[in-house]
Structure 1
Amino acid sequence: MSAAWLWIGLGGFSLLGLLAAEVRRRPLARAASKVACSLGFILLALSQGLEGRFAQWVFAGLVLSALGDVFLIFPSGRAFLAGLVAFLLAHLAYVGAFAAEGSPGPWAFALVLGVGLGVVRWLWPHLEGWRVPVLAYAAVISVMLLFALAAGRPEARLGALLFYLSDLFVARERFVRSEVLNPLLGLPLYYAAQYLLALSVG
């Protein structure tokens, strides 16, 4: 457990540096802190052991998420699309993990569908040429959340929910309104999500 706290500490310390870099608009410090924070959740998962299908699928999702984090360091549209694909694959890996834990009920389906349609309606006027990839991503992350809600692991359920919420701030930053509030709220949600998912493999 001491190793786990070491990597959680790395994540918390790096997150503080990342938020400070966002406020001060220091791209090099932002990149370094982001890589360190993402490395932390990978090392945390490794410290828990990766025995069984669930752990291995979650670890694949964490690695793909870290790759997406690296892509999103760069401001270009091509890098954003690469990040979107990496995170889409990460969510598919998480679905592979959660699907073995249980089947979602109709109430969960109705809830996730309603929220997803509301998010798409909010973003739709702002998407322009991004409608197809964003719709695909929204569908996959919604399926991920749906199966997570049926999983018997509370860290996985909460992690998936926080991941979903954090992506709303990524979408707002990219498509609706760019302001420092988006990363200040979205990044803590995102990294809390990934560290919870990493803990769920133990």
Structure 2
Amino acid sequence: MNDWSWVVLGLGGLSLVGLLWAEWQNRRAARALFKSLCSLGFLLFALSLGLDSLFARLIFVGLLLSAVGDVLLLFGSSRAFLAGLGAFLLAHLAYLGAFVQVGAPSLGGLLLVLAMGYGWLRWLWPHLGGWKAPVLAYGVVISLMLWAGLGTAQSEIWLGALLFYLSDLFVARQRFVVQQPLNPLLGLPLYYAAQYLLAWAAR
């Protein structure tokens, strides 16, 4: 990494601390500011490392779509949440396209992802109401992304994919099951760790 990468990484870490504080204190304006800075951070981090291959550019597309999703989720309305869900779904398709270039999904990985998917779907299903179809579609795509990520040898890819997957469980819990400060306080560090790992993989 170069000096610029370290600066961006440090600012991203400080922004995450600010975001967690804003979530804990329920400061909406500060939450919007720090979340935007966190998402801008992983974009700048990826750019600082270079985008010299199709793999890296697809990763950046995934990061960019994720940043769009982050902004949309700030609004809190059902329409904004659905749009954010769509942005993240497209992000996972971009990641999927990147991962299959550098790995080979395995049967063992598929069985693990199917077991995890069955678990979260059984947990969430009674709480989804009219959201069953979009959440199911999103779940299929993020599961495919995770399966492809687990099939790579690069630890930053499969770990990033797994952390992203786990972070979304806290988003779902916050949206559909119970709203608690614990959800973002646990989910956000997982999410941003995932995005910075995937940005690092694109170097």
Tell whether the structures are fold-level matches, with TM greater than 0.5. Answer: yes
Structure 1 residue 98: Cα displacement = 0.2
SS at match of 1:129: helix
Q: Per-residue CA shift, 1:35-60, capped at 9, x if unaligned?
A: 00000000000011101111010000
- Please list every run of 5 or more consecutive structure 2 residues that lacks an aligned counterpart in the other structure: none
State the alpha-carbon separation in 1 of the partners of residues 31 and 175 from structure 2.
17
Give the number of equivalent residue pairs. Answer: 202
Q: Are 2:182 and 1:181 equivalent residues in the alignment?
A: yes
Where does the alignment leave 5 or more consecutive residues of structure 1 unmatched? none
Q: What is the RMSD of the two structures over their aligned residues, measured on CA atoms? A: 0.6
Q: In the alignment, what sits opposite 2:50?
A: 49
Which residue in 1 is equivalent to 2:198? 197
Shift in Å, 1:153: 1.7
* 1:72-94 deviations in Å (ceiling 9; x for gaps): 10110001001000000000000
Q: Hey, what does 1:118 align to over in structure 2?
A: 119
The correspondence of residues 138-149 of structure 1 with structure 2, limited to 5 A, is 138-149=139-150
- Secondary structure at 1:100 match in 2: helix
Q: After TM superposition, what 4+ stretches of structure 1 lie above 6 angstroms from structure 2?
A: none
- TM-score w.r.t. length of structure 1: 0.99
Shift of 1:152: 2.5
Query: Is the deviation greater in 38-47 or in 4-13?
Result: 4-13
Q: Give CA deviations for 1:152-178 in whole Å, capped at 9, x if unaligned.
A: 321111111100000000000000110
**Residues of 2 paired with 1:23 and 1:117: CA distance?**
31
CA distance in 1, matches of 2:49, 2:106: 30
**2:134 matched to which residue of 1?**
133
> Post-superposition shift, 1:4?
1.2
Give the whole-Å Cα distance in 2 for the aligned partners of 1:102 and 1:190.
22
Percent identity at matched positions?
62
Counterpart in 2 of 1:15? 16
Counterpart AA for 2:151: A
- TM-score, normalization by structure 2: 0.98
